[in-house]
Amino acid sequence: MPFDYMTYLREEKLPHMWCPGCGIGIVVKAMIHTFTDLEWDPSDIAIISGIGCTSRAPGYMDMNTLHTTHGRALSFATGIKMHRHDKHVVVIAGDGDMSAIGGNHLIHAARRNININVIVNNNNIYGMTGGQYSPTTPLGAKAATAPYGNLEPSFDLVELVKGAGASFVARGHVGNGRQLNTILKKAFDHKGFSFVEVVSNCHTQFGRRNKMADPMNMISWISDRAKPMKKFEALSDEDKTRCFPVGVIHEDVSRPEYTETYQELIDSLNNGN
Amino acid sequence: MKESNGEVKFLPGNIVVAEAAVAAGCNFFGGYPITPSSEIAAHMAALLPRRGGHFIQMEDEIAAMGSVIGASLAGAKALTATSGPGFSLKLENLGFGYMVEAPCVIVNVMRGGPSTGLPTHPAQADVMQARWGTHGDHPTIAITPAFHQETYMETIRAFNLSEQLRMPVILLLDEVLGHLSEGVRPPKPGTFEIINRKMTDQPPDKYLPYDTSFGDVPPFVPYFEPGYHWHTTGLNHDETGFPTTNPELVTRDEERLMRKVTGNRDLIDKVEYYMADDADVGIFSFGSTARAAMVAVKHAREQGIKAGLFRPVTLWPFPNKQLKDFAEQLKGIVVAEFNLGQMVYEVERTVQSTIPVIRRTKVGGVPITPAEILESVKEIS
């Protein structure tokens, strides 16, 4: 299928606001690739975000786009999906937005198994507000609010969401766009809640403070640590703390999807009368 | 349209709200359990799926408000219900609702506060919060019914106003009204007005989500209408829906949002009077406290005092003009409200220093009695 950015992009809104070399562009490209592959009509897609650099992505995409309050994208998305469960509902957010202020909504959307596709651009930092540490900033890394190194242990988002009951959990990274396309296609095709963490680079706010001010240095740092599940499992315990598994980490197609279950309730109540 | 009432039902106020919401066309409820409003959610959970609508109990109050706005943008007529602490949590997303112009109705069944306060006892202490709770300048419509029949009709009116003006509307009850059972005669379907938001007649390439050329309320398109693809953001935006920091455009848009209320007072305002024609001692009261005020008026009249009640059903925007007119015939006015003095500031601002304004305030969970109001009335007479 020919790859046509402009079916899904608002050309007149470009150039985008992100720093040169930002990982978010790679995520947006992979999303457009996936929409194209799946032949989703832009009018049938609602894409919802919260607040932050990543949450500006919907503004550039030519579909139904909703830029909500900080952390709350999933709650708005849930209302939309409940009312129009026949449509595609996609959420894109950053790590701070989705796992700190929005963490409660994330685990509960996963638990419900509502058919919303979540993509988290995890660049380990609050970028837009000036480089403060997030729940995914590595222990010891420097941030605007961790000038002596981060004292807090970080979240493994994939394990968090899997533990909350998500029926599809995967991880990709910005160093491998082709792999990301494959992962997103599986995620968007999945019936039920799907979660994709994209390990990404913010060389401006994270890299500058941690000796990786060049985007290519940061992307190499990410790529070197990304291992397919089988290779990851064969690593030594010490190497495992340094690396992360990529690919589809968890998939369960047996769980009922929430809006379908609700529709069954509506049907049974109305047939019974 | 002439209302034709059906059979009498004996219901608690919270159930009245739920029944009326469904009658008004509500097809989405997003909520979170909180006393003393929870019966509204429970009743909606039972009613909505039977009518093809959707109920969801969200993970917190914030999410409930988010889900309501999301559903509204997708075309639903959406309701949420809460009480003090939950209302505090909803306020950021309520502001988002004003900003993006998403019609919806928020019920606050007021309880004692601040903080956790008195969860099972009534109060009227969130009235200023209803007006000014969310940050930034914003319009507000808040409605305070006093009787269950009125609650039924005002719930429908709350939906109608929210749809007509494309904005959230707040319905303020209190624990007394929420839990008190009283007779209501819901009007028969088809005998009362249901207003739905005005949809655009523009084709997708001509559509602007905040087009002001049709007046102060821009015509709507729900998400997923083929080709429209509009952008919704809580950032200040221009007619296209996209962010702007242009001072002129921001000013123009914020002033328009305010004008949706200031320019539609005929639709929004509602004041009820009781024995007010010849009154020279006024009582200002609303919601459940106004019921005690009506008894106080009767008792005062029995004692030869010409008391009369001014009862705002629409509390916000404040009925300045109506109150000013009423004050001209008065020697003084008692402001009876179940808090430590909130609406009294508006009353004082309205009557200036032309007549004495006597405060009859109370907290502690036990409603203001007619005798207490009568005592204040006698201070004037």
pLDDT digits (tens, 9 = 90+) for B56-75: 999 999 999 999 999 999 99
User: How far is residue B138's CA from residue B257's CA, in Å, rounded to a whole number?
Assistant: 7
Q: In this structure, are B237 and B124 located in the same domain?
A: no
Mutation for A interface: B100, B224, B225, most A CBs within 10 A: B224
Mean pLDDT of chain B: 97
pLDDT at residue B98 tops 70: yes
Q: In this structure, are B245 and B296 located in the same domain?
A: no
Whether B189 maps to a domain, the answer reads: no
The arithmetic mean of pLDDT across residues B102-128, rounded, is: 97
| Residues facing B9 on adjacent strands | B184
Q: Give the A:B interface size as CB pairs under 8 Å.
A: 136
Contacts of B54 in chain A (CB under 8 A): 82-83, 262
Comparing CB atoms, the residue among B28, B59, B242 nearest residue A83 is B28
CA dist B36 → B84, B86, B92, B294 (Å)? 9, 11, 22, 25
Q: What is the dihedral of CA B243, B244, B250, B254, to 10 degrees?
A: 0
The number of domains in chain B is 3
Task: Of A103, A31, A28, give the one whose Cα is nearest residue A72.
Answer: A103
The arithmetic mean of pLDDT across residues B247-275, rounded, is: 98
Task: Measure the N-to-C terminal CA separation of chain B; round to a whole number of Å.
Answer: 42
Q: pLDDT of B118-153, one tens digit each?
A: 999 999 999 999 999 999 999 999 999 999 999 999
B residues 17-36 closer than 8 Å to A (CB): 27-28, 30
Chain B contact present for A141, CB below 8 A: no
Contacts of B234 in chain A (CB under 8 A): 67-69
Chain B contact present for A13, CB below 8 A: yes
Cβ B100 vs Cβ B197: under 8 Å: no
Final residue in a domain of this structure, among B249, B266, B283: B266
pLDDT at residue A157 tops 90: yes
The arithmetic mean of pLDDT across residues B226-249, rounded, is: 98
Q: pLDDT of A183-225, one tens digit each?
A: 999 999 999 999 999 999 999 999 999 999 999 999 999 999 9
Model confidence band, residue A141 (pLDDT cutoffs 50, 70, 90): very high
Mutation for A interface: B100, B101, B233, most A CBs within 10 A: B233
- B335: closest CA of chain A, how far (Å): 38
Cβ B311 vs Cβ B271: under 8 Å: yes
Whether B196 maps to a domain, the answer reads: no
Chain B contact present for A62, CB below 8 A: yes
pLDDT at residue A272 tops 90: no
State the complex-level ipTM. Answer: 0.97
Question: Is A269's CB within 8 Å of B50's CB?
Answer: yes
Q: pLDDT of A218-267, one tens digit each?
A: 999 999 999 999 999 999 999 999 999 999 999 999 999 999 999 999 99
Chain A contact present for B220, CB below 8 A: no
Contact partners, residue A144, CB within 8 Å, separation at least 6 = A130, A131, A132, A133, A205, A209
User: How far is residue B48's CA from residue B51's CA, in Å, rounded to a whole number?
Assistant: 5
A residues 82-121 closer than 8 Å to B (CB): 82-84, 87, 104-105, 107-108
Question: Is B74's CB within 8 Å of A75's CB?
Answer: no
Chain A contact present for B232, CB below 8 A: yes
- B222: closest CA of chain A, how far (Å): 9
Q: What is the CATH number of the domain that holds B57?
A: 3.40.50.970
Q: In this structure, are B229 and B288 located in the same domain?
A: no
Note the pLDDT of residue A1: 54
User: How far is residue B343's CA from residue B337's CA, in Å, rounded to a whole number?
Assistant: 8
Whether B207 maps to a domain, the answer reads: no
For residue B297, report the phi and psi dihedrals to the nearest 5 degrees: -60, -45
Q: In this structure, are B249 and B342 located in the same domain?
A: no
User: How far is residue A225's CA from residue B107's CA, in Å, rounded to a whole number?
Assistant: 51
pLDDT at residue B2 tops 90: no
pLDDT at residue B184 tops 90: yes
Q: In this structure, are B364 and B220 located in the same domain?
A: no
Question: Is A84's CB within 8 Å of B223's CB?
Answer: yes
Note the pLDDT of residue A44: 98
Question: Is B228's CB within 8 Å of A72's CB?
Answer: no
- Domain span holding position B254: 212-266
Contacts of A266 in chain B (CB under 8 A): 49-50, 52
Task: Of B329, B332, B297, give the one whose Cα is nearest residue B311.
Answer: B297
Note the pLDDT of residue B3: 76
User: How far is residue A177's CA from residue B304's CA, in Å, rounded to a whole number?
Assistant: 86
Nearest CA in chain B to A63: B229
Cβ A244 vs Cβ A199: under 8 Å: yes
Note the pLDDT of residue B188: 95
Whether B241 maps to a domain, the answer reads: yes
Cβ A116 vs Cβ A78: under 8 Å: yes
Q: pLDDT of B188-227, one tens digit each?
A: 999 999 999 999 999 999 999 999 999 999 999 999 999 9
Note the pLDDT of residue B263: 98
Q: In this structure, are B248 and B289 located in the same domain?
A: no
Q: What is the dihedral of CA B367, B370, B374, B375, to 10 degrees?
A: -40
The arithmetic mean of pLDDT across residues B151-161, rounded, is: 98
B residues 83-122 closer than 8 Å to A (CB): 92-93, 96
CATH architecture of A23-270: 3-Layer(aba) Sandwich (3.40)
Q: pLDDT of B266-292, one tens digit each?
A: 999 999 999 999 999 999 999 999 999
Domain ranges in chain A are: 23-270
Q: In this structure, are B242 and B280 located in the same domain?
A: no
Model confidence band, residue A271 (pLDDT cutoffs 50, 70, 90): confident
Note the pLDDT of residue A4: 80
pLDDT at residue A172 tops 90: yes
Whether B193 maps to a domain, the answer reads: no
Note the pLDDT of residue B1: 66
Whether B30 maps to a domain, the answer reads: yes
- Could you count the other beta carbons within 10 Å of the beta carbon of residue B244? 15
Q: In this structure, are B235 and B278 located in the same domain?
A: no
Cβ A49 vs Cβ A92: under 8 Å: yes
Note the pLDDT of residue A3: 72
Question: Is B62's CB within 8 Å of A75's CB?
Answer: yes
Cβ B100 vs Cβ B49: under 8 Å: no
Q: In this structure, are B140 and B176 located in the same domain?
A: yes
pLDDT at residue B297 tops 70: yes
Mean pLDDT of chain A: 97
Q: In this structure, are B176 and B292 located in the same domain?
A: no
Note the pLDDT of residue B381: 83
Q: In this structure, are B48 and B180 located in the same domain?
A: yes
Q: In this structure, are B358 and B222 located in the same domain?
A: no
Note the pLDDT of residue A2: 62
Task: Measure the N-to-C terminal CA separation of chain A; round to a whole number of Å.
Answer: 48
Contacts of B243 in chain A (CB under 8 A): 59
Q: If you ran DSSP here, which 8-state letter would residue A97 be given? A: I
The arithmetic mean of pLDDT across residues B94-107, rounded, is: 98
Whether B202 maps to a domain, the answer reads: no
Chain B contact present for A254, CB below 8 A: no
